[in-house]
Amino acid sequence: MWFAAGALCAAGAGLYLRSEYEKEQLSVERTVLENPKIRKDRTLVFLSDLHEHRFGEGNEKLLTAVHEVAPDLVLVGGDMIISKGRAITSASLELLETLARRYPVFCGNGNHENRLLWEPEVYGRAYEDYRSSLKRFGVRFLENRTEQFGEDLSVTGIDLEPEVYRKFRPGHLTEKEIGQKAGKASRERFQILLCHSPLFFRPCRDWGADLTLSGHFHGGTIRLPYLGGVMTPQYQFFLPYCAGEFHSEERHMIVSRGLGTHSINIRLNNKPQLVVVDLKMKT
């Protein structure tokens, strides 16, 4: 009995140490997409779910990885901050201010940013302060709106409703609701949609997104061979959309494993991910 208890404790300690190690092992992963709407080859970096994590002082390791990629555009998919009883924004603001000095940065919201807006009785003016800071840095803040980049890209950010993030049984999102929130998709330009939850690839595709960029599920917390992510923050188990690339009718969705952790503060076989997308002209 004592041997079994000791073995369990040793295994638990080993897994904890492995998780703590993995949290700092930033993985830079690239994908290439070709599309006839693209008129100029470009490289995008996608950041999601930082949750105030710092890879070294001042996020030096993360910034170095971005600089080595030398992207034409930085896209942010939300949950960069922490909102749980109070707003914690210092690491994300520091990072985004630094990035905005060097690159065009387009920023969408996740549930942690939106919670500041949903619960003003808890967070006061925290959302307005966060938004004002980003705009002061020159970040293009996409609250249910679209901005164009160059002659061929259109980037839209959509704010999802609280029901979408409900535990166990999340709410739904339709193509019509996306249009009501964010307007029509561009048909002539390559349309990118920042949609924090990856549960809605089909309506995003049908709305007109050529590329949907999502996160939220932290890769499933623990990833197992052949089975994928074990559990999402909404307590869904072995959900296929935890991470990776998905394709349908020449439309694409990339789901980031994220950069940090939050309530379930574990990563196993699930390194933090910096997503790099190389957009190529299709000849």
* Residue 47 phi, psi dihedral angles, 5° rounding: -110, 140
The number of CA neighbours under 13 Å toward the Cβ of 206 is 11
- The pLDDT score that the predictor gives to residue 236 is 87
Q: Which two tokens stand for residue 102?
A: 């060097």
In whole angstroms, what is the distance from residue 95 CA to residue 227 CA?
A: 34
Give the predicted TM-score (pTM) of the model: 0.95
Which pLDDT belongs to residue 45?
98
User: Quick one: how far is CA 55 from the chain centroid?
Assistant: 17
Q: Shortest CA distance to 153 belongs to which of 99, 113, 181, 194?
A: 194
Checking if the pLDDT of 8 tops 70, the result is no
196-217 pLDDT per residue, tens: 999 999 999 999 999 999 999 9
Mean per-residue pLDDT for 45-53? 97
Q: What is the pLDDT of residue 2?
A: 58
What tens digit of pLDDT does each residue of 178-191 get? 999 999 999 999 99
Distance CA 149, CA 251 (A): 19
Burial string for 34-62 (b: 16+ CB within 10 Å, else e) reads ebebbeeebbbbbbbbbbbbbbeeebeeb
pLDDT at 273 over 70: yes
Strands 211-214 and 251-255: parallel
What was the pLDDT predicted at 235? Answer: 85
How sure is the predictor about 116, in pLDDT bands with cuts at 50, 70 and 90?
very high
Domain ranges for the chain, please list them: 2-281
**Whether 123 contacts 87, CB under 8 Å:** yes
Q: Of the ranges 22-26, 86-90, 140-144, 253-257, which one carries the lowest mean pLDDT score? A: 22-26
Q: Which one, of 250, 67, 38, 71, lies nearest residue 150 by Cα? A: 38
- What values do phi and psi take at 190, rounded to 5? -70, 115
The predicted model gives 45-49 an average pLDDT of 98
Model confidence at 69, pLDDT cuts 50, 70, 90, reads very high
Q: 234 pLDDT exceeds 90?
A: no
**Alpha-carbon gap, residue 73 to 107, rounded angstroms:** 11
Confidence of residue 132 (pLDDT cuts 50, 70, 90): very high
Average pLDDT over residues 116-135: 96
Query: What is the reported pLDDT for 220?
Result: 87
The pLDDT value recorded for residue 37 is 96
Using pLDDT thresholds of 50, 70 and 90, give the confidence band for residue 11: low
Question: What is the overall mean pLDDT for the chain?
Answer: 93
Amino acid 31: pLDDT: 97
Quickly state the pLDDT bin for 176 (edges 50, 70, 90): very high
Q: What is the CATH number of domain 2-281?
A: 3.60.21.10
